[in-house]
Amino acid sequence: MPSAARTKPSARPDAPARRAAALCLDHKAQDVVVLDLHGVTDMTDYFIVASGTSDTHVRSVAKNVEAALAQDGIRPASTEGFDSGHWVLLDYVDFVVHVFHPSARAQYQLERLWGDAPLLAVSPS
37 in a domain, yes or no?
A: yes
**Alpha helix ranges (H) inside 72-125:** 102-108, 110-113
Q: List residues bridging with 90 in a β-sheet.
A: 79, 97
At 11 the pLDDT is: 61
Q: What is the pTM of this model?
A: 0.88
Q: What is the CATH number of the domain that holds 104?
A: 3.30.460.10
40 in a domain, yes or no?
A: yes
Count of residues for the chain?
125
b/e code 92-117 from CB counts within 10 Å (16+ = b): bbbbbbbbbbeebbeeeebeeebeeb
48 in a domain, yes or no?
A: yes
90 in a domain, yes or no?
A: yes
**46: nearest Cα among 82, 101, 98:** 98
Q: Where on the phi/psi map is residue 82: left (φ > 0), alpha (ψ -120 to 50), or beta?
A: alpha
* 96 in Cβ contact with 49 (< 8 Å): no
How distant is the alpha carbon of residue 63 from its chain centre?
11
58 in a domain, yes or no?
A: yes
4 in a domain, yes or no?
A: no
At 7 the pLDDT is: 42
27 in a domain, yes or no?
A: yes
Averaged pLDDT, groups of 10, the chain, 125 residues long = 45 86 97 94 95 96 98 96 94 97 93 86 79
Q: How far is CA 5 from CA 15, 17, 98, in A?
A: 10, 9, 16
* Number of domains observed in the structure of the chain: 1
7 in a domain, yes or no?
A: no
In which domain, by residue range, is 50 found? Answer: 14-119
